[in-house]
Amino acid sequence: MKKILYTALVLFSFIFVACNNDIDADAISVSDYEFISFQDDALNFELNQSGVSTKTITVYNSRKSSSDKTYNLEVLPSEFNGGQGTTISSDYYGVPGSVTIPANASSAQFDVTITDNGFGSGDRLVLGFADDNSALNPHPLQMDIVIVCPMNELILDITFDNYAEETSWELYTDITTTPTLIASGSGYDDLDDQSIQERLCIDNGDFGFVIYDAYSDGMCCSYGQGSYSLTVNGEVIHQGGSFGASEVTTFSLP
Going residue by residue through the chain, which has 254 residues, state the pLDDT in tens, using 9 for 90 and above. Answer: 444 444 443 444 444 444 444 444 454 455 567 899 999 999 999 998 888 999 999 999 999 999 999 999 999 999 999 999 999 999 999 999 999 999 999 999 999 999 998 887 789 999 999 988 778 887 899 999 998 888 999 999 999 999 999 999 999 999 989 999 999 999 999 999 999 999 899 999 999 999 999 999 999 999 999 999 999 999 999 999 999 999 999 999 98
Instruction: Give the pLDDT score at 21.
Output: 44
- What percent of the chain is helix, strand and coil (3-state, nearest 5)? 10, 45, 40
H helices of the chain, in order, are: 4-18, 80-83
Query: CB atoms < 10 A from the CB of 57, how many?
Result: 21
Whether residue 38 is found in the same domain as residue 93: yes
Q: Residues 141, 187: one domain?
A: no
pLDDT at 49: 85
Give the pLDDT score at 132.
Answer: 81
Identify the domain boundary among 148, 183, 204.
148
Judgement on whether residues 77 and 181 belong to the same structural domain of the protein = no
For residues 105 and 132, state if they share a domain. yes
Q: From CA 88, how far away is CA 93, in angstroms rounded? A: 8
Q: What is the CATH number of the domain that holds 79?
A: 2.60.40.1740
Q: How far is CA 118 from CA 5, 43, 159, 199, in A?
A: 39, 20, 22, 11
Q: Structural domain of residue 247, as residue ranges?
A: 152-253
Q: Which residues of 40-49 are buried (b: 16+ CB within 10 A; e: fewer)?
A: beeeebebbb
Q: Clarify whether residues 158 and 63 are in a common domain.
A: no
Nearest CA to 228 among 138, 133, 164, 151?
164
* pLDDT score at 225: 95
C-alpha Rg value of the chain to the nearest Å: 27
Q: What is the pLDDT of residue 4?
A: 43
CATH number of domain containing 194: 2.60.60
> Minimal CA–CA distance to 2: which of 45, 62, 49?
62
Residues 157, 143 within the same domain: no
Domain boundary among 100, 133, 148: 148
Same-domain status, 182 and 208:
yes
- In this prediction, residue 150 carries a pLDDT of 86
My answer on whether 103 and 174 are in the same domain is: no
Predicted confidence at residue 138, as pLDDT, reads: 79
Helix (H, G, I), strand (E, B) or coil at 164: helix
User: Do 164 and 66 fall into the same domain?
Assistant: no
Q: Domain boundary residue among 107, 132, 148? A: 148
Q: Is 91 exposed, middle or buried (0-12, 13-18, 19+ CB in 10 A)?
A: exposed
Count of the separate structural domains present in the chain: 2
Question: Is there a single domain that holds both residue 79 and residue 13?
Answer: yes
Predicted confidence at residue 156, as pLDDT, reads 97
